[in-house]
Amino acid sequence: MAYIRKRNRKIFLIFMMPAVLVLFGTTIYPMLYAGYLSFRSYDLAKLFVPRVYVGWANYREILSSSEFLHTLIVTFKLMAMTLSVQLVLGVGIALLVTQRLPGMGVARTLLLIPMMISPVIVGLVWLFLYFPELGYLNYFLSFLGLGPYAWITSTDWALWAIAIADIWQWTPFVMMGTAAALTNLSPEPFEAAKLDGNSPFDVFWRVTLPQIRPVLISLMFLRAIDAFKIYDIIFVLTKGGPGDTTEVLSMFIYRQSFTFWRMGVGAAASFVSLVIIVVLITLFFKSLNRDPHQA
């Protein structure tokens, strides 16, 4: 900032003000306010009861409630389901589209489309597909003599229904990152392996995978952070149901805050979720630094 002369400093501040205000008003203030609320009892349903300071009571309530624990388990379960499939599918498709075959460039672009759609729309698209009586999925499965399945209303399938929609939307992301990493690998070691007669299986596990491992780790962490915050698709498809089968952490926060109007508890849950994300990110950067091939 040394280039800003003294007489320009006022003008600089005036021009910076709007951006700073917007950032403060939309990000920092709500966060501070949520922090403030998380230590209060603030019930929108009881408007005239004062917001009294309750110390760690909200946090204690959350961390000891089996309901919160359940949503945390559902969140991580869903994360494990989506991430594992996205990793396998994403890497598989990336291996395919990076082959020098006709049409692969087009395929690579078309496959990105799901990623560009807003999650709410993705939810709606899959809602039409899953719809018990009118949905396309059961219609097509009926030709195979299967179904009808109660995709989003059965406790067996609801979480998978959500996972499938998320997998559909985010596999392209993993594919794209992996494809970029694959394209960056120098071709000669693969030619050497071809001459030596190493099997494709060996080449994948021992030559390809170790070299793209750092990229895969990054992609998985980005997906993990996103999966931890998953909300829109669930809100459209199941609203956390049936029962609490698909009730993830963000649904819990939403429900506490805007169904039960317990803003203090909701705010405290948000902060717990923030802490978990921060821990995830820290682990992520630690693992990046520990990578042996980055030397």
Q: Which of 5, 50, 195, 290 binds another protein (CB under 8 A)?
A: 195
CB nearer to another protein: give 10 or 293: 293
Contact pick of 29, 46, 106, 191 for another protein (by CB under 8 A):
191
Among 184, 202, 280, 282, binds another protein (CB under 8 A): 202
Cβ partners under 8 Å of residue 266, min gap 6: 253, 254, 256, 257, 258
193 binds another protein (CB under 8 A): yes
Instruction: Please give the structure tokens belonging to residue 160.
Output: 């998978």
**Radius of gyration (C-alpha) of the chain in whole angstroms:** 24
* Binding segment toward another protein, per CB under 8 A, in 7-15, 131-139, 187-195, 224-232: 187-195
- Total residues in contact with another protein, by rule CB under 8 A: 20
Q: Which of 192, 274, 275, 288 binds another protein (CB under 8 A)?
A: 192
Q: Which stretch binds another protein (CB under 8 A): 36-44, 71-79, 202-210, 266-274?
A: 202-210
Exactly one of 9, 46, 60, 194 binds another protein (CB under 8 A); which one? 194
Query: Cα-flanking dihedrals φ and ψ of residue 198, to 5°?
Result: -70, 140
Which among 22-30, 83-91, 205-213, 261-269 is the span making contact with another protein, rule CB under 8 A?
Answer: 205-213
Of 207, 217, 222, 281, the one binding another protein by CB under 8 A: 207
Cα–Cα separations (whole angstroms), residue 2 to 9, 19, 69, 151: 10, 21, 51, 61
Nearer to another protein, 133 or 188 (CB): 188
| Alpha-carbon span 245 to 153, nearest angstrom | 10
Shortest spacing between CB 224 and another protein, in angstroms: 24
Binding mask 274-293 for another protein (x = CB under 8 A): ------------------xx
Phi, psi of 5 (to 5 degrees): -70, 160
Q: Where are the alpha helices (DSSP H) in the chain?
A: 6-23, 29-37, 57-64, 66-97, 104-110, 113-116, 119-130, 136-143, 158-184, 188-196, 200-203, 209-228, 232-237, 249-254, 263-290
What's the CA gap between 138 and 225, in Å, rounded?
32
Say what angle helices 119-130 and 158-184 make with each other, to 10 degrees. 130
Strand-strand pairing, 52-53 and 40-41: antiparallel
| Residue 189 binds another protein, judged by CB under 8 A | yes
196 part of the interface to another protein, by CB under 8 A: yes
Q: In the structure encoding, which two tokens stand for residue 228, read together?
A: 């931890």
Which CB atom, from 156 or from 202, has the smaller least distance to another protein?
202
Catalog residues that contact another protein under the rule CB under 8 A. Answer: 186, 188-189, 191-199, 202, 206-207, 210-211, 292-293, 295
